[in-house]
Amino acid sequence: MRSVDVADLAAGVRAGSRQHVARAITLLESSRHEHREQAEELLALVADRTGRAVRVGISGVPGAGKSTFINALGTRLVGRGHRVAVVAVDPSSRRTGGSILGDRTRMGDLAASEAAFVRPSPSGRQLGGVARATRESMLVLEAAGHDVVIVETVGVGQNEIAVSEMVDTFLLLTLARTGDQLQGIKRGILELADVIAVNKADGDGEAAARVAARELAGAMRLMMPGPAARRPPVLTCSALTGAGLDEVWAAVLEHREHLEAEGSLEVRRARQQQDWMWALVDAHLQDAVRDSARVRASRAEVEAAVRSGGTSAVEGAARILRLYADDVRDEAAPGSGRA
Ligand code: GDP
């Protein structure tokens, strides 16, 4: 990336320019130090325009039909005048340096629409870094006027938690499974879900999907006793034929309205901000420790000592932290020229 004019980028984003949005997201995805500073500046310049979208997380195992669903639902929403954005969190997938999730070719109709913006998951091994970039991208997309932001992820547990920390409503897309197979759906993911939809309820699969939805609803009753209104609704749909898609979207909006009416949308978002602050502090500290001169100089040696068993992990960690603390102290010392 060449030099960045942050003010121009922010103005372009605010005007809804696709080109500027794409460049802004590329900036947000960079982990280089000067880019991080510019990214923070950019986010500050658009902050007043963020927070107005319906933020929906969509999760499901590979093959559940997420991309087909998002393509069909997104196209419908665009047809009703919404401006839809799709971003993704998928740190595990590193195909061609980026994720297959949110791939344009998988959501061809939606990606081709002027009112939509589809962005694959940023690449990276660390969930924290990928989630940061996705969350910040969401803010830029809101500032650019997108009023529906969909965050897609694959059902592996950790990703879902990260996504649930940035959305208002979490939709789990699943397939017809009954009885013992229900056990295969991770309980933790069910607990995060605000709406559950059994997809591929079409043709020969329709009856099985309905049975599965009924059983899943029963399992949810056992898992979450108490008033039914507190439990996520379990619906069926077909991303292929479009059957049930409007009902699923209505359930998403209903969940969000419920949050708003209770005042818990604000509470949820406020808590997300607080958690996010600490996640940023953690990430900064990790980078600072690893970048510190003394740690860089001694890292290989300490790692080797821990691997060989000569030094315990606890002792190794203490050594690394001492090295870092020494660097911080030197930096802060008067006369070091950097204080
Ligand atoms: P993803 O991996 O969750 O994104 O799943 P895809 O959207 O790529 O879908 C996986 C496969 O299931 C593709 O062959 C789709 O055509 C098919 N599929 C997706 N939704 C439906 C549906 O509602 N009904 C049927 N019959 N097939 C579907």
Q: Stretch 150-157: mean pLDDT, rounded?
A: 84
Using a 6 Å cutoff on CB, does residue 287 contact ligand 1?
A: no
What percentage of the chain has pLDDT greater than the value 90? 58
Q: State yes or no: pLDDT of 244 exceeds 50.
A: yes
Q: Stretch 222-245: mean pLDDT, rounded?
A: 91
List, by residue range, all CATH 3.40.50.300 domains of the chain: 50-261
Q: State yes or no: pLDDT of 262 exceeds 80.
A: yes
Instruction: Give the residue whose CA is nearest to atom 10 of ligand 1.
Output: 63
Q: Stretch 139-144: mean pLDDT, rounded?
A: 97
How many Å separate Cα 67 from the centre of its chain? 15
Q: Stretch 271-297: mean pLDDT, rounded?
A: 89
Q: Where are the beta strands (DSSP E) in 48-185?
A: 54-60, 84-89, 116-118, 148-154, 169-174
- Using the atom order of ligand 1, give the atom closest to the CA of residue 71: 7
pTM score, whole prediction: 0.85
Using a 6 Å cutoff on CB, does residue 177 contact ligand 1?
A: no
Contact 194, 220 (CB under 8 A): no
Write down the pLDDT at residue 339. 42
Domain 1-49 belongs in CATH node 1.10.3720.10: no
Q: Given pLDDT bands bounded at 50, 70 and 90, which one contains residue 178?
A: low
For residue 236, how far is its CA from the centre of ligand 1 (angstroms)?
14
Q: For residue 169, what are its two tokens? A: 């409503």
Domain 50-261 belongs in CATH node 3.40.50.300: yes
Instruction: Give the residue whose CA is nearest to atom 5 of ligand 1.
Output: 65
Write down the pLDDT at residue 263. 86
Sheet holding 234-236, edge to edge: 116-118, 84-89, 148-154, 54-60, 169-174, 195-198, 234-236
Write down the pLDDT at residue 97. 41
Q: State yes or no: pLDDT of 96 exceeds 80.
A: no
Q: State yes or no: pLDDT of 132 exceeds 80.
A: yes
Distance CA 79, CA 32 (A): 39
